[in-house]
Amino acid sequence: MNFLVNLNKRFGLGTLPLTAFLVLTVLLFAALTPRFFSEANFQSMAFQMPVLGILTLATLGPILSGGINLSIIYTANFSGLTLAWVLLNNGGPDAGSGSMIVGCLLALIVGAIAGGVTGLVIAKVGAHPILVTLAMMIFLRGLGEFLTRGGDISGFPAAISYLGQGNLLWVPVPMWLFAACALLWHLLLSRTRHGFAVYMVGSNIRAAEYSGLHTKRTLVLIYLFSGLLCAVAGILMAARFNSVRVGHGEAILLVTVLACFLGGVDPFGGAGRVLPVVLALVILQVLSPGMNLLGANQHLATAVWGLFLIGVMMLRWAAAKLEIQFNRRKLT
């Protein structure tokens, strides 16, 4: 019991109920369809989840700081585009590993710049993050579509697809990348001064400023890191589909926000952990192909995601109500 309490404390409230729910869903689908516990199903999930997962991490940081980043998809697309540009200018399918490395680095830099500029505007001007990131989203989409004329860019060297489609020690490479990102993000948020400042800024920015924290630097950095994660996701998307299209993955934006809320992140900022969010992601991922296997389509899964979020919020509301009643009874 003590172990469970500790687990909850270390990784955030909601870890336990989410885990329980995950086990339940898995068992349910396993009972309903034999194809659920197949290697093919797990492989397909393991390839699908990392992009969504890394983008969710990119959404998580800004929400913790009391804001939001709506430009993640186009930041990812634009970073992918940078990679594609370097590869195509160095021989396309024949591009060497040197240009691949340069391309990935440039993509990361572009993502960081996009995030950093967003953060600067938010910190210095004090405009609402929804508005700033929305404008950034529209800007990046326009710029990307202008450069690509709205079409697909493809023709990358075969080696790059290893990043998106290869296996390393029986586990897909994207999954390793996602795990690394999640771990780093967890460490950054829970074990560093910057992470500490993110939570403080998220729940009370003025108190944080009075305590001598670098509130502006914190805001710039959190959006910069968010942009960096987007770039990783953009590189993965390019590698997985062997093509880049601006607008690819547009529908993921709201799903990432949904995953964060499902993982118990406070919509107003200041509270939320990485692990429950990852668990929420796994649940969404299991729900969607699980229902596909049962014959339902992707759209029904979208609807179920929405209902699922409402359900979780209702449960939290009921739990809070019960707790109040329980406390009252304890008093009298």
Partner 1 sequence: MTLPEAAPPAVRLRHVTKSFGGAKALDNGDFDVRRGEVHCLAGEKGCGKSTFIKIITGVYVPDAGTEIELFGQPVKNISPAQARALGVAVIWQDLALFARMSVAENITFDEIVGPFPRRVNRTAMRSHAATVLARLGVDIDLSASLGTLPIAERQIVAIARALMGQTRLIFMDEPTASLTQSETDALLTIVRKLSDDGVAVVFVSHRLAEVLDVAERVTVLRDGKLVGVWPTQGMTQSRLGELMTGIAIEHSILKPAADDANVVLSIQNLGRDGEFDGISFDIRAGEVLGMIGLIGAGRTEIAHALIGMNKPDRGEMILTGAAHTPRSIRQAIAAGIAYVSEDRLQLGLDRKQSIEDNISVAVLPGLESPPGLLSSGLKSKLVMDWIKSLGIRLGQPADAVSTLSGGNQQRVVLAKWLATKPRLLILDSPTVGVDVGARAGIFRIVRDLTEKGLAILLISDEASEVYFNADRILHLAGGRILDTLVPSDITLEALEARFMRDFVRSHAIELRLAAVLSLICFILSFASPQFATAGNFSSLLNNNAVDMIWAVGLLVVLIAGGIDISFAVASSVVHYIAAKLFGVMGGGNWLMGIVVCGSLGIGLGLINAWLIRGFKIISIVVTIATFNAFFGFLMFFSGGKFIYDLPSWWTARVFLFEHQNADGSWVELNLSVAAMVVCLILTWILLRHTSIGRQLHAFGANPEGARRAGVNVALMQGVAYGWMGLMAGTAGLMQINVVREVVPNALAGGELEVLAAVVLGGARLGGGKGTVTGSVLGVLFVAITQNGLNLLGVSPFASKMVIGAAILIAISTSNIGLTSPSRKRAAK
**Closest distance of CB 247 from partner 1, Å:** 10
**Closest distance of CB 271 from partner 1, Å:** 7
One DSSP character per residue, 265-296 reads --TTSS---HHHHHHHHHHHHHHHHHHHHTT-
Q: Which residues in 151-180 contact partner 1 (CB under 8 A)?
A: none
Contact in structure between 100 and 87 (CB atoms under 8 Å): yes
**Closest distance of CB 19 from partner 1, Å:** 21
Residue 107 or residue 121: which is nearer to partner 1 going by CB? 121
**Does 217 participate in binding partner 1 (rule CB under 8 A)?**
no
Q: Which residues in 67-96 contact partner 1 (CB under 8 A)?
A: 70
Q: Which residues in 277-316 contact partner 1 (CB under 8 A)?
A: 296-297, 299-307, 309-310, 313-314
Residue 174 or residue 202: which is nearer to partner 1 going by CB? 202
**Closest distance of CB 156 from partner 1, Å:** 23
**Does 250 participate in binding partner 1 (rule CB under 8 A)?**
yes
Q: Is 310 exposed, middle or buried (0-12, 13-18, 19+ CB in 10 A)?
A: exposed
Q: Convert residues 91-130 into a mask of x (bound to partner 1 by CB under 8 A) and - (unbound).
A: ------------------------------x-xxxxxx-x
Contact in structure between 78 and 143 (CB atoms under 8 Å): yes
Give the C-alpha distances (Å, rounded to integers) separating 105 from 38, 79, 94. Answer: 37, 10, 19
Max CA distance (Å), the chain: 78
**Closest distance of CB 87 from partner 1, Å:** 22
**Does 215 participate in binding partner 1 (rule CB under 8 A)?**
yes
Indicate the helix (H) or strand (E) that contains 168: strand 167-168
Give the binding range for partner 1 (CB under 8 A) out of 34-42, 49-57, 231-239, 257-265.
257-265
**Closest distance of CB 56 from partner 1, Å:** 13
**Closest distance of CB 185 from partner 1, Å:** 14
Rounded to an integer, what is the distance from CA 211 to the centroid of its chain?
A: 30
Phi, psi of 153 (to 5 degrees): -115, 125
**Does 325 participate in binding partner 1 (rule CB under 8 A)?**
no
As a whole number of angstroms, the distance between CA 32 and CA 17 comes to 22
For 21, the 3-state DSSP assignment is helix
**Does 9 participate in binding partner 1 (rule CB under 8 A)?**
yes
For 49, the 3-state DSSP assignment is helix
Q: For the CA atoms of 285, 286, 291, 293, what is the dihedral angle to 10 degrees?
A: 110
**Does 261 participate in binding partner 1 (rule CB under 8 A)?**
yes
